[in-house]
Structure 1
Amino acid sequence: MKNSLRVHAALFGATFIYAANYSLSKDVMPQYALPFGLVTLRILGAALVFNILSRVVANERIEGRSDTIRSILCGLIGIAANQLLFFSGLNLTSPINASLIQTVSPIVVVLASAVLLGEKITPMRALGIVLAGVGAALIILGRAPGAAHPGQDTPLGNAFILLNATAFGIYLVIVTPLMRKYHPFTVLARIFLVGAVAVVPFGWRQAVAIDYPHLPVLIWSEIIYMVLFLTILAYLLNNWALKHASPALTGVYIYLQPVLAVIIAVSLGKDTFTVTKALQASLIFIGVFLVSKRPKQQVASTIEVPFEPIQD
């Protein structure tokens, strides 16, 4: 019982951290920091911490040509592209839109598994893909008259978030063999290092342009939150919980993240939740539910990719 409570606490903690980020990031961007600068700070901080943890805890290296290439692809797709697209999109759209669109990642995992691993897409999963795709498309193309703030481009921001979810879904498929072969800290140290090398050329100007001495205490705390809690603590909680949680339980928390994001955004006055968004969200949730159901006749050797709450 105690272990079960700890699993729920870890999953809820990680989910809450991810959900709160949608609203907190809007405080920082674009008034105090631009998206690429924020991504640069976050990835550099995570790369430093995970490389230290890797040396202390794992003390191993990724070896071999195929594993090295795979780790580089993970860093480019799952860290650099994923983060640049997410924060660019969130800067242009609303917290609720971003949180709802990101739930299509499990759909991308299934499609990527079909293309890269030859997994079969059943009629039920195909229906789920269509429903989720329709829901995401309606959100991406929708624009409430007068709802956008000056400088925002909601459809473009929504499109960036969809590309972010796509990059993360592909990353989950290609990183799984590395996670099974090496210690997680070894993998994270390598891919965040690759991500940092890829991101710095895009974001260093925005990072150094931040007026650090004059940042309000609240903004400082939110930046620290994104570096330490969002990237590091949320992963540690997630990684521990996924070793003890069933796929069904993990799936429940996929749906909880956007619910929490909506509650936080509305309570902080960052966004509004309309009937239209509720209907669009329902299409995505039903689609993800159908896709996440594993076929009964599925062979045991098929790769299983945990549908983690989105680690942005």
Structure 2
Amino acid sequence: MNVRLLALLAAFSTAVIYGASYTIAKDLMPVFIKPHALIFFRVIGTAILFWLVSFFIKREKIERRDYGRIVICALLGTSVNMLFFYKGLNTALPIIASAIGVATPLMVFVFSLIFLKEKIVKTRILGLIIGLIGAFVLITYKQDLEGDSGAIIGNFYVFLNASFYGLYLVIVKTLLVKYNPIHLVKWMYTLSIFIVLPFSYKEILLVDWIAMPRPIYFELLFIIVFTTFINYLFNLFALTKLKPTTVSVFVYLHPVFASAYALLVGSDSLSVVKVSITLIIFIGVYLVTKPVKTTTVVK
């Protein structure tokens, strides 16, 4: 099997894993593990796995001036964002949550405009407006939620996760140029253990490990090992062998697989509104991320 095909398979696998993880996480929460406790287990488990892998990679010394940026990246990309995500997913529907998550590239563009002074392009601004309108409609969507305002708050938390992660992707770029991603991520997850612990320790004590069914243990391992660790390695491998634009296309598959898995196990249902608004978000993300001619730049 050639390397390009392996890279495509890795990128495809990440979409499948992410899609399934929305429903699997909801199987865990809140009956067996509360949202913040789940984040702690995910963070500490991932940190251990990355530390193990890092022993096989040449050691690197982190420059003191980069400590602050790494802490910020840990806050935005591996702790606070997940605190919002799992708290939101606790009440949000899997299909809607996965569609809102696709809005991350929109937020990357917003923060690139603010911090990287990226040029304002008409097509991308249009895509941003379209995508954010779609996200707003999904966040406030209540048709099959029996009027539960908690679901709307949950949807908003998922959007906050996408926003924080978008900012993280902008800030972490300079660090990825200087350091091996494995070493960088291991330190971010290590820091995140101490960031999330104050929010999680009460919920950790509530976990009844003896009463927990065996399938729940496997689902917890799936979230720790596959959703975070394996997916990161797969995505990193895909990025080294494929163009970033090629890898980014697989983001569109996350809601597809999330919907398929949720429908398969009966944790969610499709509707015309969900499908149509998700497509609107897709259009917005496509316009924001596609290459544009410099002649369309607004002066």
Q: Please report the TM-score for the alignment, with normalisation by the length of structure 2.
A: 0.95
Query: Contact 1:128–1:290 at 8 Å: present in 2 too?
Result: yes
Partner of 2:62: 62
Partner of 2:14: 14
List per-residue Cα deviations over 1:59-103 (Å, max 9, x = no partner).
Answer: 1131132x1111000001111111111100100110001000010
1:2-81 alignment runs, 5 A limit:
2-65=2-65, 67-81=66-80
Partner amino acid, structure 1, of 2:23? S
Q: Once the 2 structures are TM-superposed, how far is the Cα of residue 54 of structure 1 from its aligned partner? A: 2.2
Distance 1:187 1:75 in 2: 10
Distance 1:297 1:244 in 2: 27
The farther-off stretch of 205-214 and 92-101 is 205-214
Q: Once the 2 structures are TM-superposed, how far is the Cα of residue 214 of structure 1 from its aligned partner? A: 1.7
Q: Once the 2 structures are TM-superposed, how far is the Cα of residue 281 of structure 1 from its aligned partner? A: 0.6
Q: 1:291 to 1:205 in 2, by over 3 A?
A: same
Q: Once the 2 structures are TM-superposed, how far is the Cα of residue 40 of structure 1 from its aligned partner? A: 0.4
List per-residue Cα deviations over 1:135-187 (Å, max 9, x = no partner).
Answer: 001011110155478xx711000000000000010011111111111011110
Partner of 1:132: 131
Quote the sequence identity (%).
35
Give the alignment's Cα RMSD to 1 decimal: 1.5
Query: Contact 1:62–1:186 at 8 Å: present in 2 too?
Result: no
Query: Contact 2:145–2:151 at 8 Å: present in 1 too?
Result: no
Distance 1:177 1:51 in 2: 22
1:1-312 alignment runs, 5 A limit:
2-65=2-65, 67-147=66-146, 153-297=150-294
Query: Contact 2:54–2:182 at 8 Å: present in 1 too?
Result: yes
Q: Once the 2 structures are TM-superposed, how far is the Cα of residue 192 of structure 1 from its aligned partner? A: 0.7
List per-residue Cα deviations over 1:187-215 (Å, max 9, x = no partner).
Answer: 01111111111001110221232111221
Q: Once the 2 structures are TM-superposed, how far is the Cα of residue 28 of structure 1 from its aligned partner? A: 0.6
Q: Which runs of 4+ in 1 moved over 6 A?
A: none
Secondary structure at 2:79's aligned position in 1? helix
Distance 2:182 2:78 in 1: 15
Distance 2:135 2:2 in 1: 38
Distance 1:292 1:69 in 2: 29
Q: Once the 2 structures are TM-superposed, how far is the Cα of residue 52 of structure 1 from its aligned partner? A: 2.9
Secondary structure at 1:214's aligned position in 2? coil
Q: 1:148 to 1:8 in 2, by over 3 A?
A: farther
Query: Contact 2:16–2:257 at 8 Å: present in 1 too?
Result: yes
Gaps of 5+ in 2: none
Q: 1:72 to 1:245 in 2, by over 3 A?
A: same
Gaps of 5+ in 1: 299-312
Distance 1:62 1:268 in 2: 45
Partner amino acid, structure 2, of 1:15? A
Q: How many residues align?
A: 295
Q: Once the 2 structures are TM-superposed, how far is the Cα of residue 251 of structure 1 from its aligned partner? A: 2.6
Partner amino acid, structure 1, of 2:193? A
Distance 2:245 2:26 in 1: 32
Distance 1:48 1:251 in 2: 28
Query: Contact 2:17–2:231 at 8 Å: present in 1 too?
Result: yes
The farther-off stretch of 111-120 and 43-52 is 43-52
Distance 2:34 2:201 in 1: 11
Distance 1:70 1:145 in 2: 42
Partner amino acid, structure 2, of 1:37? A
